[in-house]
Amino acid sequence: MGVPSGEIIARPMVARACGCLQEFQHYTVDKYREQRKAKFQKTRCPVCVAKLVEEQRIAATLPKKGEAFKSLPTGAQISMVRRADNTWTGTLIADGTTVEAVGEGPQGVTLALARNWLLARGAGKATPAAATPAPAAAAKPAATAATPVKPTAVAAAPKPAPAPKAAPSKAKPV
Ligand SMILES: [Zn+2]
């Protein structure tokens, strides 16, 4: 269902959740174009996803759960948003440093956030962020600055989805 077909008739540039502009393709036959576009706008581009995943991979070499959380300062704040693609995006703010993480579940994201924060504060200096194919804007050593957070990306949540994702027909009658 919902697989677009036919020719590509337009290629507008659309901003994604990470702030990157990416080509969104309009097909002649595309019943769910609006839904696809909504999802497109709510998710990050592959480069930014890869970047976050890589950051998390590096962060995974950092302190264990207990230590990581204990190392966070008083007043540390975590917020979490569930994305249209079923992943979770978390933001941790502590001591003026803001970091982000994505993951399949909130627990993993929480830990990744704590580790990312420690990493941002220089805990992971031993790992010089292996060859990450990052765009210029992101070409910073993992251990220096916090991941910049675009407010718009986080604010995408409250808006109700334009239409519920075509419910599978086996949806339980209540
Ligand atoms: Zn991006």
| Angle of CA points 155, 129, 49, to nearest 5° | 35
CA of residue 16 to ligand 1 center, whole Å: 7
77 and 89 together in one domain:
yes
Closest residue by Cα to residue 78 from 88, 64, 66, 67: 88
Residue 43 has pLDDT above 90, yes or no: yes
User: pTM for the full model?
Assistant: 0.39
- Domain membership of residue 13 as a residue range: 5-42
CA of residue 172 to ligand 1 center, whole Å: 37
Please, which residues have CB less than 5 A from ligand 1, an ion? 18, 20, 45, 48
71 and 146 together in one domain:
yes
CA of residue 152 to ligand 1 center, whole Å: 13
108 and 146 together in one domain:
yes
| Distance of alpha carbon 101 from the chain centroid | 7
CA of residue 51 to ligand 1 center, whole Å: 9
Total domains present in the chain: 2
pLDDT for res 169: 55
Whether 34 and 161 have beta carbons less than 8 Å apart is answered as no
Domain-embedded: residue 166: no
Residue 173 has pLDDT above 70, yes or no: no
CA of residue 148 to ligand 1 center, whole Å: 12
pLDDT for res 147: 47
Q: How confident is the model at residue 172 (pLDDT cuts 50, 70, 90)?
A: low
Domain-embedded: residue 133: yes
76 and 21 together in one domain:
no
105 and 20 together in one domain:
no
Tens of pLDDT, residue by residue over 52-102, are 998 888 767 777 778 889 989 999 999 999 999 999 999 999 999 999 999
